[in-house]
Amino acid sequence: MSISGHVPEHIHELTEKYAAEIVAIRRHLHQYPELSLEEHETAAFICERLDEFGIPYQSGVAGNGVVAEVRGVGDTESGSGSGSGSGSQEVVALRADIDALPIQEPEGLEFCSRRPGVMHACGHDIHSAALLGAGRILHTVRDQFAGTVRLLFQPSEERIPGGALGMIEAGALRSPAVNSVIGEHVNPDLPAGKVGFRAGFFMASVDDVSITVRGRGGHAAKPHQNIDPVIITAHLLSSLQQIVSRSADPLVPSVLSFGRVIADGAHNIIPNEVHLEGTFRTTDDTWRYEAHEQIRRIAGATAAAMGGEVDVEIRVGYPSVINEPNLTERLRSSAVEYLGQEQVVDIPPAMWAEDFAYYGRETPACFYNLGVGTPGSENAPVHSPLFQADENCIALAAGLLSYLALTELS
């Protein structure tokens, strides 16, 4: 099959036709976010929309995942409808994540989250709406292509070990095997209307670091009678930063950050324990595991020198996202065909992490960025309660996913 000249225009027309519907889907998902492993209503809503579109699917994959398929019925040789969808065994997978974050969204947005303490602050509502929209578009033009587009609605991206592994283990990339996997992620640093690609290394690995510092609590007025875990923790936080500043190769990006420190004492009570939670990210697997050992060693030595003890737990998380170069270059060229040269940009690597990385360990994969920023505005980053997206990106994302899938099937 080759993509005929009228297909991009047809995709644009269908995108415009379904735009309001796709945006409404996103707004519903935004109002009813669910955390990782809890996406029951989200999955049910996705299945309801697939039923409306007439797209077959399997639910309950890896927990709350949904796998759907749009099967083309075009004949690759004659260009006529075969009616069987068997003219090609080519399979392209499009992936969206469906979970939300434990963040309280401030009031003010017309379709603000109705679930206290839960928010789609990472754009997964946009990813899911765009994928549903792409399914709708592709199902409409199924007589114009051969092969299969598999839609992966993946749960639990935000929580290690990640839903991608479960989807893969459940066979989401098999029967028949997919030839490539394509995914997108919102980027508020890019204005809506633009998309960004990078071949090769794109995103860092990620590991969760949990440390418990144990001392001996007591009255804050008699610190000499205690072993203060708060003071030990203060030294520990400073000492651990030397791993990045003095042990890491300066040419190998690394990040060690602690976002949660709990010392559950009081203004006049020194606690027995302090709990820390953080993240370690890098771009080199050998150094990654060396750093784990240094975290354990420095934490133990620092606490022991001050009379305390530590427990260190490091949960190995997602590997680095590596975009297969040939696939990425093809998709970038297709994006230029669909959006125009000025709307497609090259982007630098980032220390974000994504379990999309696992798909790339199984088959050629490409993860690109979808611009959602509003020009002239102070666009808050993802994982912020102030994150918002220019909704002009949503239908565009659906149309682009559709076109990328079609060009990969050609």
Same domain (yes/no): 110, 16 = yes
Same domain (yes/no): 125, 18 = yes
Same domain (yes/no): 28, 49 = yes
Domain count, the chain: 2
Determine the Cα angle at 94 with ends 93 and 99, to 5°. Answer: 125
Mean pLDDT of 315-344: 97
Residue 1 lies in a domain: no
79 — pLDDT class (breaks 50, 70, 90): very low
Q: Assess whether pLDDT exceeds 80 at residue 403.
A: yes
Same domain (yes/no): 65, 199 = yes
Q: What percent of the chain has a predicted confidence (pLDDT) above 70?
A: 95
Nearest C-alpha neighbor of 51 from the set 131, 128, 136: 136
Task: Look up residue 214 and give its DSSP letter.
Answer: E
What's the pLDDT tens digit per position in 143-176?
999 999 999 999 999 999 999 999 999 999 999 9
Same domain (yes/no): 110, 55 = yes
203 — pLDDT class (breaks 50, 70, 90): very high
Other residues' Cβ atoms within 10 Å of the Cβ of residue 48: 10
Q: Report the CATH number that the domain containing residue 220 is assigned in CATH.
A: 3.30.70.360
Q: Assess whether pLDDT exceeds 80 at residue 77.
A: no
Q: Assess whether pLDDT exceeds 50 at residue 84.
A: no
What's the pLDDT tens digit per position in 32-53?
999 999 999 999 999 999 999 9
What does the pLDDT read at residue 8? Answer: 66
Q: 32, 114 in Cβ contact below 8 A?
A: yes
Same domain (yes/no): 308, 325 = no
Domain that holds residue 293: 205-316
Nearest C-alpha neighbor of 347 from the set 203, 205, 204, 251: 203
What's the pLDDT tens digit per position in 253-294?
999 999 999 999 999 999 999 999 999 999 999 999 999 999
Same domain (yes/no): 358, 272 = no
Q: Report the CATH number that the domain containing residue 186 is assigned in CATH.
A: 3.40.630.10
What does the pLDDT read at residue 88? Answer: 62
For residue 178, which amino acid is it?
A: V
Whether the bond between 176 and the residue before it is cis, its omega within 30 degrees of 0, is yes
Same domain (yes/no): 195, 219 = no
As given in the structure block, the two tokens for residue 74 are 């075009």
Q: Which residues are catalytic?
A: 99, 157
Q: Which residues contact 102 (CB under 8 A, 6 or more apart)?
A: 35, 117, 118
Query: Among 273, 288, 316, where does a domain finish?
Result: 316
Same domain (yes/no): 169, 289 = no
Q: Assess whether pLDDT exceeds 50 at residue 372.
A: yes
What does the pLDDT read at residue 9? Answer: 81
Same domain (yes/no): 166, 53 = yes
Same domain (yes/no): 61, 160 = yes
Query: Among 277, 297, 316, where does a domain finish?
Result: 316
Q: Assess whether pLDDT exceeds 60 at residue 201.
A: yes
What does the pLDDT read at residue 3? Answer: 54
Q: Assess whether pLDDT exceeds 80 at residue 76.
A: no
Query: What is the value of pTM for the model shown?
Result: 0.91
The per-residue pLDDT of the chain, averaged, comes to 94
Helix (H) or strand (E) holding 340: none
Q: What percent of the chain has a predicted confidence (pLDDT) above 90?
A: 92
For strand 91-97 and strand 146-154, is the pairing parallel, antiparallel, or unpaired?
parallel
Query: Among 281, 316, 351, where does a domain finish?
Result: 316
Same domain (yes/no): 154, 211 = no
> What are the Cα distances from residue 267, in Å, to 207, 219, 263, 264?
33, 10, 11, 10
